[in-house]
Structure 1
Amino acid sequence: MALQINRKIQHLATLYNQFRFLIDDKHVVYVTIEPGIFPVGDWSFIDFLSFPPGDWNRGRISKDQYTGSLTFSSISYDIILGVENIWHQTYIDHLEFEQIDSLSQNVRIATHPLFHYPVIIKFASFPSEIGDIETETAMYSRLHGTGISPKFLGHVTEEGRGVIGFVLEFITKSRLAEPRDLTICQKVLARLHNLGIKHDNIRKDNFLVLGGKAFLIGFKVSYLCDEKKELELEYDNLQELFGGCIKNDRGTKSYTN
Structure 2
Amino acid sequence: MFRTFPQIFWKVERFLALILSSFWGTVRLTIALSLLIWLGVMQSAILGHFESHISHEFVFSNAVPLASFNNTVTNTVDFRVITHPPAQLVKYVSVSHNVLPLGILKRNIINKKTAVIKIPLLPEGDWTIANVGVVPNGEQITITRASCEHLPSVKNIWHNNTIDFLDLAVLPTPWSTKHVKLVSSPHLATPGNTAVMKFAEFAHNISVIDKETEIYQHLQGSEVAPRFLGHVTENRGSRVVGFLIEYVEPRPQKGVPNLFTGARDERCNDALASLHELGIAHNDAYPRNCLIRQNGKAVLIDFDQATRGKGDFSRDMALMNTAA
Q: Give the TM-score of the pair, scaled to structure 2.
A: 0.65
Question: Which residue of the other structure, out of 16, 26, 34, is the alignment partner of 2:96?
Answer: 34
* Residues 210-219 or 118-127, more deviating: 210-219
Residue 288 (structure 2) pairs with residue 205 (structure 1): yes
Once the two structures are superposed, the pairs formed by residues 150-189 of structure 1 within 5 Å of their partners are 150-159=226-235, 162-174=239-251, 175-177=259-261, 181-189=264-272
Indicate how the Cα distance of structure 1 residues 216 and 153 shifts in structure 2: closer, same or farther if over 3 A, else same.
Answer: same
1:3 counterpart residue number: none
Q: In the TM superposition, what are the counterparts of 1:60-71 in structure 2 within 5 Å?
A: 60-71=131-142
1:142 has 2:244 as partner: no
Distance 1:80 1:222, change over 3 A: same
Shift of 1:7: 6.4
1:235 aligns with 2:317: yes
> Displacement, 1:44?
3.9
Distance 2:317 2:123 in 1: 54
Identical residues among aligned pairs (%): 28
What CA distance in whole angstroms lies between the structure 1 residues aligned with 2:279 and 2:249? 29
SS of aligned partner of 1:176 = coil
Aligned-partner Cα distance in 2 for 1:186–1:134: 27
Cα separation, 2, equivalents of 1:109 and 1:147: 21
Q: Following TM superposition, by how much is the alpha carbon of 1:67 offset from its aligned partner in structure 2, in angstroms?
A: 4.6
Distance in 1, matches of 2:276 and 2:250, equals 26
Unaligned runs of 5+ in 1: 1-5, 246-257
Mapping for residues 236-255 of structure 1, pairs under 5 Å: 236-239=318-321, 241=322, 244=323
CA contact (8 A) 1:106 1:123 kept: yes
Q: Deviations over 1:162-193 (max 9, x none)?
A: 11101111112443345x63211110110110
What does residue 184 of structure 2 align with? 111
Structure-1 residue corresponding to 2:204: 128
Instruction: Return closer, same or farther for 1:106/1:124 CA change in 2, 3 Å cut-off.
Output: same
Which of 152, 165, 171 aligns to 1:100? It is: 171
TM-score by length of 1: 0.81
Aligned amino acid, residue 149 of structure 1 = A
Which structure has the greater CA radius of gyration? Answer: 2
Q: What count of residue pairs does the alignment treat as equivalent?
A: 231
Work out the CA distance in 2 between the residues paired with 1:60 and 1:48.
Answer: 11
After superposition, the C-alpha distances for 1:68-107 in whole angstroms (9 at most, x for unaligned) are 2211111100121210101111011111112222612222
CA distance in 2, matches of 1:221, 1:68: 47
1:10 and 2:83 matched: no
Cα RMSD of the aligned pairs, angstroms, is 2.4
- Structure 2, unmatched stretches of 5+, are 1-59, 71-76, 102-113, 252-258
Write 1 or 2 for the structure with the bigger share of helix: 2
Q: Which amino acid aligns with 1:104?
A: T
